[in-house]
Amino acid sequence: MQFKVLFSVLAGLAMTGAAAQAAKVELVVEYPYPDVFNQTHQEIAKRFTAKFPDYTVKFRAPTPEYEAAAQQALRHAVTGQLADVSFQGLNRQRIFVDRGIAVDLTPFIKAEPDWEQSGYSDALMSLGQINGKQVGIGFSLSTPIVYYNMDLLEKVGVADDALPKNWDDIIAVADKSRQASPGTHGLHYDWEITGNWLWQAIIFSKGGAMLNADETKVAFDNAIGRESIAQLGRMVQNGTMGNFSYRDAQQLFVNGQLAVLSSSTSRLQHIESQIGDKFRMVTGYFPVYADKGTVPAGGNVAMMFTKDPERQKAAWEYIKFVTGPEGATLMTQSTGYFPANTLPIDDPKMLAGYYDANPNQYTAVKQQAWLTGWYAFPGENGLKITDVIHDHLQTVFDKSAQPQQALDAMVKDVQALLN
């Protein structure tokens, strides 16, 4: 009798243990920018595991920015420690396709019976497509915008409904503001962000490109490139823009000592929280010039790296959840980014009415009409090219080189890395 009881208990324990082992999948997930996304990812994971109790989520220590995120994932590919789901910058997807790391999500999408009604528009999905493969799905998207201190600008006749529409006008009103309010500064252009994002923005806004069609030659060695680098030079020419780091410029702005700041919409919530009621701030469009002018989308996508079929099932459920209506709503409300899913915007339980109450965030959403991809340079030197562009832009803003000299040197060095 005792033997039977013992056998039943052991058998029961074995079955319970086997079932638990079969059911539980611990997803390894990595993401960048902890100061922006820690709270967001933790809350999304909490809701995901409540909905899918057979899955758990283990986060790796987040990386400080997109370049570090890409480098870490590449190291893990060598050591066999790739995450199951990785959030990577839009302009860093390409390297994972070139090296065979990214999993094509097309078969998973085709297996979804109601994908067309899931809120993933063709335009937004295109941001995760590389060489004909759907390797990423947008999680958090941003565009470059312009932040205005209206308390300072109203003193020089600028109104909310008549914000400047091109860089020369922005520079002019910023300089007028600086002179009208002694002790303040005019403008900061966040050229450092991710190395070349705002360089791409000013080129794309005029209908330009980074490289030619077959990606063998620099394409901004032309009138568009010369005018763009000259505009950057005019920002610092008369002291309208000082040689500040973004951190210092942001502090000046939130303290009411800087009239105009151009950066990513992803900075918005942090900036608004620091301003409080010190002054009235509004956001405006990033200037677009040509009929074919665009602005590059920033932000990151969810990518699948695991090749294990069982882990892929769990990873796909996680990717759908974080980029779907619930994850997109949480992300939008806790950051300055806008969602890559259209369903929450009109849902009264999610984001309907949210943008009415937060018009500064709606600026970036309205710029979707002229959104384009964040360009990734090809080949093994893709990351180095970003560094080269950053270094030459630095010489414009610290005035160690004339703008045209900086452009010539940039073109030469980028072309050498392409070759």
**The pLDDT of residue 23:** 52
List, run by run, the mean pLDDT of 10-residue segments along the chain (419 residues): 46 45 81 94 97 97 93 96 97 93 97 94 91 95 96 97 96 97 97 94 97 96 98 96 95 98 93 96 94 93 97 98 96 89 88 89 88 90 93 97 98 96
CA atoms of 345 and 363, how far apart (whole Å): 14
The dotted CATH code for 25-142+297-372 is 3.40.190.10
Going by C-alpha positions, the residue among 289, 67, 317, 90 that lies closest to residue 192 is: 67
CA atoms of 142 and 173, how far apart (whole Å): 25
**The pLDDT of residue 13:** 47
Residue 251 has φ and ψ, to the nearest 5°, of: -65, -40
For residue 111, what are its two tokens? 């297996």
CA atoms of 43 and 40, how far apart (whole Å): 5
Helix/strand/coil for 255: coil
Going by C-alpha positions, the residue among 290, 281, 283 that lies closest to residue 264 is: 283
**The pLDDT of residue 83:** 98
For residue 402, what are its two tokens? 């004339």
For residue 416, what are its two tokens? 């050498």
Q: Are 208 and 228 in contact (CB under 8 A)?
A: yes
**Residue written as token pair 């902890």:** 34
**The pLDDT of residue 347:** 86
What are the residue ranges of CATH 3.40.190.10 in the chain?
25-142+297-372, 144-295+377-418
Complete DSSP assignment for 225-263 = HHHHHHHHHHHHHTSSS-S--HHHHHHHHHTT-EEEEEE
**The pLDDT of residue 291:** 85
Q: How far apart, in Å, do the first and last CA atoms of the chain sit?
A: 81
Contacts of 227 (CB under 8 A, 6+ apart): 206
Domain 144-295+377-418: homologous superfamily in CATH = Periplasmic binding protein-like II (3.40.190.10)
